[in-house]
């Protein structure tokens, strides 16, 4: 039995020598995904998402980039009358419609049969910016009388 053990050690000795030798000057590469790298990647992604969300909020808040209607239907003016309700003045060919718009509903409040060509040149800009709510009240009172 002792002879077998000595023979086994003699045959395995060259393997031990090769197993214990190391390459000089070799350093293993650094891991690609460390905690610091992952934190940097995740924080960069969150920063990009925050910037995209902020830009979308600014565009929505100030109405930048809203589609202008240049086809047969033109939105001339809008006025908010509640948190989710609006009154909209729409021109379709030679007819102007005053619409009440609420979530899930659109009602015709008044119909005007005059084109924008018959109005004075400055009247349209005044109507859209300052006098629209007053003109709307007058139109509704005339329709109810």
Instruction: From 97, 103, 106, 78, select the one nearest 139 (Cα to Cα).
Output: 97
Query: What 3-state class would DSSP assign to 26?
Result: coil
How buried is 36 (Cβ within 10 angstroms: 0-12 exposed, 13-18 middle, 19+ buried)? exposed
How buried is 140 (Cβ within 10 angstroms: 0-12 exposed, 13-18 middle, 19+ buried)? middle
pLDDT one-digit tens code per residue, 15-53:
555 555 566 777 778 888 889 999 999 999 999 999 999
- In this prediction, residue 50 carries a pLDDT of 97
- In this prediction, residue 125 carries a pLDDT of 46
Q: Is the pTM of this model over 0.75?
A: no
The low-confidence residues of the chain, meaning pLDDT below 50, are 115-117, 119-126
């Amino acid at each position: 039995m002792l002879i077998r053990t000595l023979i086994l050690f003699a045959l395995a000795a060259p393997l031990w020598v090769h197993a214990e030798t190391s390459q000089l000057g070799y350093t293993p590469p650094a891991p690609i995904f460390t905690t610091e790298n992952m934190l940097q990647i995740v924080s960069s992604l969150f920063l990009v998402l925050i910037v995209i969300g902020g830009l979308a909020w600014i565009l929505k808040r100030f109405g930048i980039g809203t589609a202008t209607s240049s086809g047969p239907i033109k939105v001339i003016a809008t006025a908010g009358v509640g948190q989710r309700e609006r009154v909209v003045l729409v021109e379709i060919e030679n007819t102007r419609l005053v619409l009440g718009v609420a979530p899930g509903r659109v009602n015709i409040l008044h119909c005007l049969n005059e084109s924008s060509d018959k109005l004075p040149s400055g009247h349209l800009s005044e109507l859209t910016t300052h006098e629209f709510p007053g003109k709307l009240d007058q139109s509704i009172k005339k329709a109810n009388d």
